[in-house]
Chain A
Amino acid sequence: MNAEFDKDQLTAEAVAAWAIAKKDMIIYYLKPNIIVSGLLFPLFMFLAFAAGKNVPLGYLIPGLISVTLLFSSSTIEPVSIPIERRTKTFERLLSAPVSLHAIVIGESLSGFLYSIGIALVPLIVGIIAFKTTIVFPLALIVGMLLTAIVFSTMGTLFAAYPTESPGDIMSMLNLVRLPLIFVSGTFIPLDAMPPLGAWIAYLSPLTYGNDLIQAAYGHTAFFFPLFDVVMLVVFFSIFQFVAHRLYAKYND
């Protein structure tokens, strides 16, 4: 597909992407499997980590925000897209006069907005219940936004796999998401990891998102914040590119 990106078409692409996101919000945000995977799962992970640690709970809030962003942002599309393949509504999107990029962005946008909304819960609970202080609000905002868009795009990428069963994609996705919790410095600081773990951490986008969020709370940052931002943009670009290629390939 070769989109003609004149001004009118750009507007049309944006309108269509937003329409896709709105549609997902109305239909999928309150589905039980979305709530379990996006909200409850990170909470239980947090409690499991908190129970075994001898640190104030408030100190773990940045890690909880990162994990919440990871799970909630990458949950919508792996559920919605297989369902829409089964009901053939996904075909409606593929045959509309919009580019695959607009479809991928629209699908990712719903996960992005969902995760930002969900991640506000630990953020606010941290402020109210644990008196956490946000030292660098800009770093928090940028870190949350970029982490959410990176992982919602990753969710869309995984959902490209041509199956009609959300369970198939969730299984593959969890093979990636669960290890990311342990190798990205969310609950175990990067400098406390064995050398191999630290090397693997470089390959995880969550490392950079979490690093920015930790820095926002005044915790020691492992990387320079601008480097975190650049790495998150790089991961987003890679995921967007690969997702586009996979949708083009699997729908042919």
Chain B
Amino acid sequence: MHAIEVTDLEKRFGEILALDHVSFSVETGEVFGYLGPNGAGKTTTIRILTGITTPTGGSASIFGRDIVRDTIRARKQMGIVYETSNIYDDITAWQNMMFAGELYHVGKQDREERGKELLEIFGLWDRRASRVKGFSKGMKRRLTLAMGLINDPRLLFLDEPTSGLDVQSNLIIRDVLQTLTEKGVTVFLTTHNIEEANLACDRVAIINRGRIAAIDSPERLKKTIQSVQSVEVAFEQGSAKILDDMENLPMVSEVRKVGDKVRLYTEDPGALLREIMLYADSHQNRVVSATTLGPTLEDVFIRLTGIERRNREGGFP
């Protein structure tokens, strides 16, 4: 049985078609990434899959239960962690946990045991009696995730779980996600952090303008755009003129400044490397490092969504 099955899903808001016959399925135990630019339909999809919004067409089911007709039973299988840390600031961490348990009909003993266990895992047990108002952003995020796990869900919806967090919170959340996936929990992850999706997801779907542009494993998606390879090169003497010069090299389709390096997109990295060395010799500059790179998931994302890179941003000092 699929953890999530979405068939021909459509959502209209008046004249606006937010989801245009979207279909995909997520296998049990899979970590499924759902990527897309702002306004692509990610939030609408999650709101439908969690039973908050009703689709105007198509269907979606959670472990075989239709989310429209059998909403409550479908929801019992899931934990939901929204992008915003939606916790109650005026009550304590413990009260938040217990409230989440009561909403999900977790028995008193279970919710107290599980609440303690989760607060310990997320490093919040010592602060259980503190009002959440005084918590840092990372602590609030950890508490939100702990609340999402109070009912021991088989499916976890995670919306931007690590966005803008401190290192400690990031590490704890990633560790917990790793443990969950090892236990066979299905994770539906939306994130702007494409590298995070690349590392964590078994498969990713890229949605753009309400349509699924591609679904596959990150590695297979990268293979579909082998033409987008690049050479990342650092010169001893950086200057804004280098960016112009690199752009004029043959075979270069795009130039992008990456920190103190320049990334040059090309279909033939080997030939381009030779051109770069010739350029360095003729300009009495030295190549400090040069690395050839395959396409990244971000490249796939950009290619499929048609987003333009802000290349040459900043320039050299």
> What are 16 of the A-B contact pairs (CB < 8 Å)?
A2-B69, A16-B102, A19-B103, A22-B99, A23-B95, A27-B90, A27-B91, A88-B84, A91-B86, A94-B52, A95-B50, A95-B51, A95-B75, A97-B103, A97-B104, A97-B105
User: Which chain B residues border A54 with CB–CB below 8 Å?
Assistant: none
Which residues, 66 to 98 on B, are CB-close (under 8 Å) to A? Answer: 68-73, 75-76, 80, 82, 84, 86-91, 95
A23 and B95 alpha carbons, distance in the complex (Å): 9
Could you tell me the dominant secondary structure of chain B's interface residues? loop
User: Which chain A residues border B72 with CB–CB below 8 Å?
Assistant: 1, 3-4, 9, 97-99
- Chain A, interface size category, equals 20 to 34
Residue of B whose beta carbon sits closest to that of A16: B103
User: Which chain B residues border A7 with CB–CB below 8 Å?
Assistant: none
| New contact pairs (18) apart from A2-B70, A26-B90, CB-CB < 8 Å | A1-B68, A1-B72, A3-B72, A4-B70, A16-B103, A18-B102, A19-B99, A20-B103, A27-B91, A89-B86, A91-B52, A92-B103, A95-B52, A95-B75, A97-B103, A98-B72, A99-B72, A252-B53
B99 and A23 form a contact (CB under 8 A): yes
- State whether A97 and B52 are in contact (beta carbons under 8 Å apart), knowing that A23-B91, A26-B91, A87-B89 are contacts in the complex: no
Residue of B whose beta carbon sits closest to that of A97: B75
A28 and B70 alpha carbons, distance in the complex (Å): 33
Could you tell me the dominant secondary structure of chain A's interface residues? helix
A20 and B91 alpha carbons, distance in the complex (Å): 13
B229 located at the interface, meaning its Cβ lies under 8 Å from any Cβ of chain A in the complex = no
Task: State how many angstroms separate the Cβ of A244 from the closest Cβ of chain B.
Answer: 14
User: Which chain A residues border B102 with CB–CB below 8 Å?
Assistant: 15-16, 18-19
B305 located at the interface, meaning its Cβ lies under 8 Å from any Cβ of chain A in the complex = no
A4 and B52 form a contact (CB under 8 A): no
Q: Which of these, B53, B76, B95, contacts A26 with CB under 8 Å?
A: B95
Residue of B whose beta carbon sits closest to that of A103: B103
User: Which chain B residues border A22 with CB–CB below 8 Å?
Assistant: 99
B170 located at the interface, meaning its Cβ lies under 8 Å from any Cβ of chain A in the complex = no
User: Which chain B residues border A95 with CB–CB below 8 Å?
Assistant: 50-52, 75, 80
Q: Which one of A16, A18, A92, A99 has the highest number of Cβ atoms from chain B below 10 Å of its Cβ?
A: A92
User: Which chain A residues border B87 with CB–CB below 8 Å?
Assistant: 89
Q: How many A-B contacts are there with CB distance less than 8 Å?
A: 80
B54 located at the interface, meaning its Cβ lies under 8 Å from any Cβ of chain A in the complex = yes
A134 and B208 alpha carbons, distance in the complex (Å): 69
Task: State how many angstroms separate the Cβ of B42 from the closest Cβ of chain A.
Answer: 15
A12 located at the interface, meaning its Cβ lies under 8 Å from any Cβ of chain B in the complex = yes
Which residues, 216 to 252 on A, are CB-close (under 8 Å) to B? Answer: 251-252
A196 located at the interface, meaning its Cβ lies under 8 Å from any Cβ of chain B in the complex = no
B75 and A27 form a contact (CB under 8 A): no
A19 and B99 alpha carbons, distance in the complex (Å): 6
A43 located at the interface, meaning its Cβ lies under 8 Å from any Cβ of chain B in the complex = no
- State whether A2 and B75 are in contact (beta carbons under 8 Å apart), knowing that A91-B82, A91-B86, A252-B53 are contacts in the complex: no
